Amino acid sequence: MNILRGKRLRNVKEDVARYTTSLSFDKEIFEADILCDIAHTIMLYKQEIIKKEEAKKIIEGLKEIYNKGLGNLNLDPTLDDIHMVIESELHKLIGDVAGKMHTGRSRNDEVATDLRIALREKILKILKLLIDMVDNLTDMAIEYKDVITVGYTHLQHAQPITYGHLILSYVSMLLRDIERFLDSYKRVNLSPLGSGALATTGFNIDRELTKELLGFDDLIKNSIDAVSTRDFILETLSNISILGTNLSKICEELILFSTYEFNTVEIADEYCSTSSIMPQKKNPDVAEIARAKLSSLNGNLVSALTILKALPNAYNRDLQEVTPILWDSTYKIIDTIKMVDGMLKTLKINKDRMEFLAKANYSTATELADTLVRYLDIPFRKAHNIVGEIVRKSIEERREMLEVAKEVLKEKNLEVPEDLLIKALDVHENVKLRKVIGGPAPEEVERRAKEFKERIKEYKKIVEEKEEKIREVKNKLLNYSIN
């Protein structure tokens, strides 16, 4: 007899079972489910809901199943899911007493608990990779703090910056991603266990105890909300999508800046491909694949939102379909962080080309206008007009900006010493001047980078503490013995 269908339902069609089972993606929660089973069993025993001998048999059986590993279990789709597979394995090992494990519990609170246990580890993994990447990037920013390049707005030459400053912009945005994951972690690491199907149980269970045993920070108290909400998944998917968007921007810049036309960076060979016909080609395939994979994260977020938006309380089987989406996004983002980190770590930069571009195309025009404001005490708008005229004339007459500037100023009876004009047009001077908070000046880049380093250290510590707590919880539960 199928232990799930019992005597209520008779036949089960194989193709129906295959259609509805979650077993193909339940591998992600196998370990979490065993932990959840052990914690629940310990609680049942401590609350004198089941006997010591019974608890002992159940826990020993669960440990055996865990050690056997998922690969050696009978993943029969007619059992629906991993919860029932484990219970049926347990039944094979210890007989009817296995049926006591599910006292005061439902698969609804069980799966919600398992998902949170499995997800928190994935979040920590993402955080760790991200923190390492940001750490590397911060070192890179310090290394390139003096390298002059041009910054773009509308993808047109804008103003000179330092390459270190651009790299720090990546750090700055990715630190917010780190904060978002850390913040959501608080809402992921909550225990729904003890909520039963939706209405808790009449048994005198101890929700606080299972919460502690499983390393959760708090309970979700309302039992209806606890079993039905998947907003912790939406939040995570959304964090992943935002991070993906940020990584995609980096990929896009790597692709663009490594073109012959820009030629400011070179992606290492191991992250590139060539062409089967054009022997000269070096294509940025990894960055392109990343850019595309990251798009599918947004699709995943929308799918999950759409599945959830019209569901009534409490558990609905639709919820199951959100789960594979979640794992897909976590794996994609984990792999992509590794790729982007790898590309950045091995990136070669072309300093000469960067400086050449910074000097070209009137990128210092703003500073020339600022100089007129400072020296002549004229309104900025007026200075803007004068410099606009200088630039237009330089382009039309194909002449050096300095010469044209002197000429235009003279025509207008405005006198500015030549050395000030030269200084205004110099890219190094431009960058050196911009030393206000968050500016591209080398000293400011270094100051910011050092500040970021401190924050990175803090985040590392927070993540390590969380990991340690989880390790302890697992160790304790998977080695638990009742004597």
Catalytic positions: 154, 275
Q: Report d(CA 85, CA 364) in Å as an integer.
A: 69
Q: Which is nearer to ligand ARG, 23 or 147 (CB)?
A: 23
* Per CB under 6 A, 251 contacts ligand ARG: no
Q: Name the CA radius of gyration of the chain, rounded.
A: 31
Residue from 50, 65, 111, 470 touching ligand ARG (CB under 6 A): that is: 111
Window 64-103: residues binding ligand ARG (CB under 6 A): 81
Pick the closer one to ligand ARG by CB: 124 or 319.
Answer: 319
Of 174, 177, 112, 101, the C-alpha closest to 140 is: 174
CA gap 97, 58 in Å, rounded: 7
Question: Which of 130-138, 172-180, 302-310, 312-320 is the region at the interface with ligand ARG (rule: CB under 6 A)?
Answer: 312-320
Q: Which of 41, 108, 189, 238 binds ligand ARG (CB under 6 A)?
A: 108
d(CA 164, CA 147): 7
112/110 Cα distance (integer angstroms): 5
DSSP-derived secondary structure letter, 434: -
Q: How far is the CB of 105 from ligand ARG (least distance, A)?
A: 11
Should residue 319 be labelled a site residue for ligand ARG when binding is judged by CB under 6 A? yes
**Residue number, 118 or 319, with CB nearest to ligand ARG:** 319
Side-chain-side CA neighbours of residue 402 (13 Å): 11
Backbone torsions φ then ψ of 57, nearest 5 degrees: -60, -45
In the window 13-42, what residues touch ligand ARG (CB under 6 A)?
A: 22
Look at the block and give the residue holding tokens 């199907």: 197
User: Does residue 314 have a cis bond before it (omega within 30 degrees)?
Assistant: yes
For position 320 contacting ligand ARG by CB under 6 A, the verdict is yes
Q: Smallest gap, in angstroms, from Cβ of residue 431 to ligand ARG? A: 55
Scored b (16 or more CB within 10 A) or e, 93-114 reads bbeebbebbbebbbbbbbbbbb
Q: Which is nearer to ligand ARG, 5 or 447 (CB)?
A: 5
Instruction: Based on the shown chain and the rule CB under 6 A, indicate whether residue 367 belongs to the binding site for ligand ARG.
Output: no
> Which C-beta is closer to ligand ARG: that of 115 or that of 251?
115
Type of residue numbered 175:
L
**By CB under 6 A, which span of 107-115, 288-296, 368-376, 429-437 interacts with ligand ARG?**
107-115
166 within 8 A of 193, measured Cβ to Cβ? no
Note whether 341 binds ligand ARG by CB under 6 A.
no
- Least distance to ligand ARG, CB of residue 107, Å: 4
CA distance 477 to 35: 6
Residues numbered 417 to 476 that lie near ligand ARG (CB under 6 A) are: none
317 binds ligand ARG (CB under 6 A): yes
Q: How far is the CB of 47 from ligand ARG (least distance, A)?
A: 24
Dihedral over alpha carbons 331, 334, 335, 336 (to 10 degrees): 120
* Alpha carbons 120 and 126: distance in angstroms, whole number: 10
Q: Which stretch binds ligand ARG (CB under 6 A): 11-19, 34-42, 58-66, 315-323?
A: 315-323
Q: Which stretch binds ligand ARG (CB under 6 A): 236-244, 276-284, 314-322, 432-440?
A: 314-322
| 260 token code pair | 């012959």
Q: Which residues bind ligand ARG (CB under 6 A)?
A: 22, 81, 107-108, 111, 315, 317, 319-320, 323
